[in-house]
Amino acid sequence: MSESHENLLDRSFRALAVSFLYSGAAWLVLGTLLATLAANKTITPAFLSECDWFAYGRLRPAYVNALVYGWGGNMIFGATLWLLARLSWAQIPYPGIPAVSGMAWNGAVTLGIIGILAGHGTPFELLEMPQYVSFFLYGSFLALAVWSIIIFHTRLEPETYVSQWYLVGALFWFGLTFFLGHLSLFWEPARGTIQSVAASWYAQNILWLWLVPIAFGIAYYLVPKALGAAVRGYSLAFVGFVALVVVAPWAGLGELRGGPVPAWIPAVGSVMAVAMFFPVTIFAGNVLGTACSNLQRIWEDLSLRFIVAGTLLFTVCAYLGILLAFPSLSEVTQFSLLGDFQFNYIVHGLFAMTTFGLSYYWLPLLFDGKRPPELLVAAHFWVALSGVTLLLASSVWGGLAGGAVANLGAGDWVAAIKPFNCLAMAGQGLLFVSALLFGLNLYWAIGCPLLTCCPKAMEKDDSANQKTEGKKSVENKLSEEEAGLKASKLTFVTFVVTAILVIAFAGVVFSLIL
């Protein structure tokens, strides 16, 4: 792809980038703030106890959903649209429509978080938002997914890359998981112990088949592109992709050990958790092996530093999670601080660090070379890394210590885990500071989002650039715009067909509900 063609693609994404970046940063600040308050409640339960909205049972699901659906959703939609456009050599058609869909998604998540804090939540993990929000969430997701599929369908390059597999797969897996999860738990509730299995399957899929594939896709694209090197062991990437799809949905069933389910279900979960070794190893080998070809560049490029650090954290923690999945250890650490370990290393370790790297890669690329001071970006990196490390250390160490006291019956369990609760609170506090630094860096580089996205300002910049360009570059630009118009005509036809399919699918959903 020529540099001028890439510039046209990036220009079509600029307004969307501002919307998704600022929205994601706002949710990240809110989520980490609520997480810090929840961590404080584990140390001083009387803190804000006079207000029901700040009870621990409401704060925890509120911050989890804010991070996954608010911060995670915005960054996922932005990364998916941009990466598919870049890899497909196709402009984003009518960017106002995905922008409005993103606003609808944020509005639905806002209603959901307020509903949780008001006491209208549900008991299922990552499904705590009230049911009146689910239709708005699903509708806005379908609109954004349709736009992503349109871009992928109109690609000029017939061959696909591993990042495209994970991005398109994540769209399909989230849509299927969201639908089947609500169907089996709310619309047509499953009976008996099947509900606990369905709830575990849903929570596992949201983390491993929505957040993780997006992070994988970002790492597979940016690391080799920035280094100018081919992915090492690329022939194994498809094996890792298939292994993740087959194994990940069932790896969480081991948490049901000791519950009212047949014994073979948690046994299958433990086997699948151990089998996660294969997709994790292939991904780590591809990305970290490629990064090792130029470690000096990794250290100097802060965006790459975020991505490689997140990949390394994820790899180490995933291997540790495999060890802890063995029944002899999981029986000890069950119902301990280790319960949040997987969530923390996926959301804060892999996904957040990878999307931070992507965001800092976007800033000079999309906004005329503007970037925050390197000192502020470096400070953000070290604060984020320190916060994640403290949080993960408190989960593992506190889980083992608390589990040993609870199962062996020696010592005071509350006194044993209190130091680790303090350590977790310190980690959450650092992550909150990290979120503030991220927002500050965005504002430093982008400025006011309304002024950045102002069409008049963009028209002035375009006219100034056209005056300085030579005749040859103008002709090339016109030819590329003509190619873009042809692609837009094709995307319109694809949009009509896809809209018909979405309407038909919505009819099936409502027929099942009614």
Task: Give the list of residues 6+ apart from residue 382 with CB closer than 8 angstroms, or none.
Answer: none
Task: Give the list of residues 6+ apart from residue 459 with CB closer than 8 angstroms, or none.
Answer: none
Q: Is the pLDDT of residue 514 over 50?
A: no
Q: What is the model's pLDDT at position 407?
A: 77
Task: Return d(Cα 148, Cα 162) in angstroms, integer.
Answer: 16
- Which two tokens mark 71? 């911060």
Percent of all residues in the chain with a pLDDT value above 90, rounded to a whole number: 66
Q: What is the model's pLDDT at position 5?
A: 63
Q: Is the pLDDT of residue 505 over 70?
A: no
Task: Return d(Cα 14, Cα 367) in angstroms, integer.
Answer: 8
Summarize pLDDT for 394-452 with one digit per residue, the tens. 999 998 888 888 877 667 878 888 899 999 999 999 999 999 999 999 999 998 877 66
Q: Classify 231 in phi/psi space as left (phi over 0), alpha (psi -120 to 50) or beta.
A: beta
Task: Give the list of residues 6+ apart from residue 422 with CB closer than 8 angstroms, or none.
Answer: 43
Task: Return d(Cα 309, Cα 384) in angstroms, integer.
Answer: 11
pTM of the model: 0.87
Q: What is the model's pLDDT at position 337?
A: 86
Which class is domain 3-461+474-513? Answer: mainly alpha
Q: What is the model's pLDDT at position 175?
A: 95
Q: What is the model's pLDDT at position 454?
A: 54
* Integer angstrom CA distances of residue 1 from 259, 444, 480: 55, 30, 12
Q: What is the arithmetic mean of pLDDT over 354-377? A: 93
Q: What is the model's pLDDT at position 450?
A: 72
Q: Is the pLDDT of residue 219 over 60?
A: yes
Q: What is the model's pLDDT at position 95?
A: 86
Q: What is the model's pLDDT at position 452?
A: 65
Q: What is the model's pLDDT at position 368?
A: 83
Summarize pLDDT for 98-122 with one digit per residue, the tens. 999 999 999 999 999 999 999 999 9
In this structure, are residues 337 and 422 in contact, taking their beta carbons and an 8 Å threshold? no
Task: Return d(Cα 65, Cα 56) in angstroms, integer.
Answer: 14
Q: What is the model's pLDDT at position 336?
A: 84
DSSP for residue 262: -
Q: What is the arithmetic mean of pLDDT over 130-140? A: 93
Task: Return d(Cα 334, Cα 338) in angstroms, integer.
Answer: 7
* Integer angstrom CA distances of residue 412 from 82, 332, 408, 425: 52, 16, 11, 21
Higher pLDDT, 514 or 349: 349
Q: Is the pLDDT of residue 480 over 80?
A: no
Summarize pLDDT for 283-313 with one digit per residue, the tens. 999 999 999 989 999 999 999 999 999 999 9
- Which two tokens mark 105? 């998604």
* All structural domains of the chain with their residue ranges: 3-461+474-513
Instruction: Give the confidence band of 1 by pLDDT, cuts at 50, 70, 90.
Output: low
Instruction: Give the confidence band of 10 by pLDDT, cuts at 50, 70, 90.
Output: confident
Summarize pLDDT for 370-391 with one digit per residue, the tens. 899 999 999 999 999 999 999 9
Angle at 314 between CA 401 and CA 211, to 5 degrees: 115
- Which two tokens mark 211? 């957040």
Instruction: Give the confidence band of 58 by pLDDT, cuts at 50, 70, 90.
Output: very high
* Integer angstrom CA distances of residue 321 from 108, 331, 334: 33, 14, 13
Summarize pLDDT for 143-191 with one digit per residue, the tens. 999 999 999 988 887 889 999 999 999 999 999 999 999 999 999 998 8
Q: What is the model's pLDDT at position 410?
A: 67
Higher pLDDT, 372 or 49: 372
Higher pLDDT, 172 or 331: 172
- Choice among 27-41, 77-91, 215-229 with the minimum mean pLDDT: 77-91
Higher pLDDT, 331 or 213: 213
Instruction: Please provide the average confidence, as pLDDT, over all residues in the chain.
Output: 86
Q: Is the pLDDT of residue 466 over 50?
A: no
